[in-house]
Amino acid sequence: MNNHFPRPKILVSRCLGFAACRYDGQILKNGFVDQLKDHVDLIAVCPETDCGLGIPRAPIRLCRSDQGLVVYQPATGQEVTAQLQATINAILADHPQVDGALLKSKSPSCGLFDTKIYRGIEKPQPLGKGAGLFGHQVFRRYAGTAIEDEMRLTNQILREHFLIKMFTLARFRLLCEQPTMGALVAFHANHKLLFLAYNQSRFRLAGKIVANHERLPAAEVAQNYRLELARILEAPMRIPGVINTLFHALGWVSQHLGTEEKHHVINTIEEYRDERLPLQAVTRLIEAHALRFANNYLLSQVFLRPYPRALAGLHDSGRGRAVR
């Protein structure tokens, strides 16, 4: 059974429960970040504070210019792009390999999706929204890792995807420290049901890589596999793929179940399809039957327990599965 989990390494905005470093001198308590602390190595960063802007500080904003995006501080009339960029470069250099990032939404530095971008230094009208200066470079530097902001993670589907991706990548990172073909084959086999739920065609492509018909060195195979792994985990699982995988898992124990027991599992799967139950309710039921019948294949599957149970939660923003 998958009871042992690696400790992922992720960057996290320091204002999310670590220090009172927001522009207004406040700290933002975040329950999900607090949950992660016992299971994840959190690397707290704040580019704005560390570049010398101070606490509290006059707000900064991203502005379009002829030279591209600049960071401007309206209250002082100063452009602070260079000093902020120097600190960002140092943060990225100090942490060459992480499994993801959890950053502050809307921040001119850490924002990922919803930072206001203004028409220009002299034009206070917002042009649109995008990534902050640091957030944009986190996306580029750590492409393929688990990267989200704290507001989007109030959605249960996105939060589950973030956790699955983060722990899967951490597991693979540890494997790559001393890669062997045996370890790669075992990794692929143990993640079969999980990857089928994400993307069947990509799972098959990853299988061809790990089959290694060209007899490449294990380190080269691991690098090729890492690229395909990022594609598999690119987007949250789609419901049809999850349903197919759940029925596939059920097939491994169904011959031992009575008619009523089998119907109970099927009805539970259908309740998940109809958004009346979370996925963990179904996987725990299947895991219970795997334990009951000592089905080692199912018990080896990461799909049934992809991250520590202590991090599972039912709270949701109410936006449902439509958020991607």
pLDDT of 321 reads 52
Please give the model's pTM, rounded to 2 decimal places: 0.94
Q: What is the mean pLDDT of residues 281-300?
A: 96
Burial 11-26 (b: 16+ CB within 10 A, else e): bbbbbbbbeebbbeee
The pLDDT value recorded for residue 4 is 85
pLDDT at 322 over 90: no
- Residue 3 pLDDT grade (very low, low, confident, very high; cuts 50, 70, 90): confident
Which amino acid does the sequence have at 240? P
Per-residue pLDDT tens over the stretch 119-170: 888 777 788 999 999 999 999 999 999 999 999 999 999 999 999 999 999 9
Report, as an integer, the average pLDDT of 172-194.
Answer: 97
Predicted pLDDT of residue 232: 98
Q: Kindly tell me if the per-residue pLDDT of 93 is higher than 70.
A: yes
* Whole-number pLDDT of residue 43: 98
Give 115's strand partners: 130
The mean pLDDT of the chain is 94
pLDDT of residue 203: 97
Q: How far is CA 179 from the centre of its chain?
A: 23
Q: What is the pLDDT of residue 124?
A: 76
pLDDT digits (tens, 9 = 90+) for 57-89: 999 999 988 878 899 999 999 999 999 999 999
Q: How confident is the model over 274-300, as a mean pLDDT?
A: 95
| pLDDT average, residue stretch 20-39 | 95
pLDDT-derived band at 235 (thresholds 50, 70, 90) equals very high
CA gyration radius for the chain? 22
Given a cut of 60, is residue 319 above it in pLDDT?
Answer: no
Cα 157 from chain centre: 11
Q: DSSP 3-state assignment of 100?
A: strand
pLDDT tier for residue 316 given thresholds of 50, 70 and 90: low
Order the strands of the 61-65 sheet from edge to edge. Answer: 78-79, 68-73, 61-65, 115-120, 123-130
User: What local confidence, expressed as pLDDT, does residue 323 receive?
Assistant: 52
Q: Is the pLDDT of residue 2 over 70?
A: no
Q: Is 64 exposed, middle or buried, given 0-12, 13-18 or 19+ CB atoms closer than 10 A?
A: middle
Sheet holding 41-45, edge to edge: 41-45, 9-13, 100-103, 146-149
Split at pLDDT 50, 70, 90, the class of 279 is very high
Omega before 56 within 30 of 0, i.e. cis: yes
- % of the chain at pLDDT higher than 70: 96
Residue that wins the pLDDT comparison between 125 and 202:
202
Mean pLDDT confidence for 295-307: 97
pLDDT of amino acid 315: 65
Specify the pLDDT at position 122: 79
Q: Is the pLDDT of residue 317 over 80?
A: no
Lowest mean pLDDT among 108-112, 117-121, 289-293, 297-301: 117-121
pLDDT at position 65, please?
84
Residue 324 confidence (pLDDT) above 70:
no
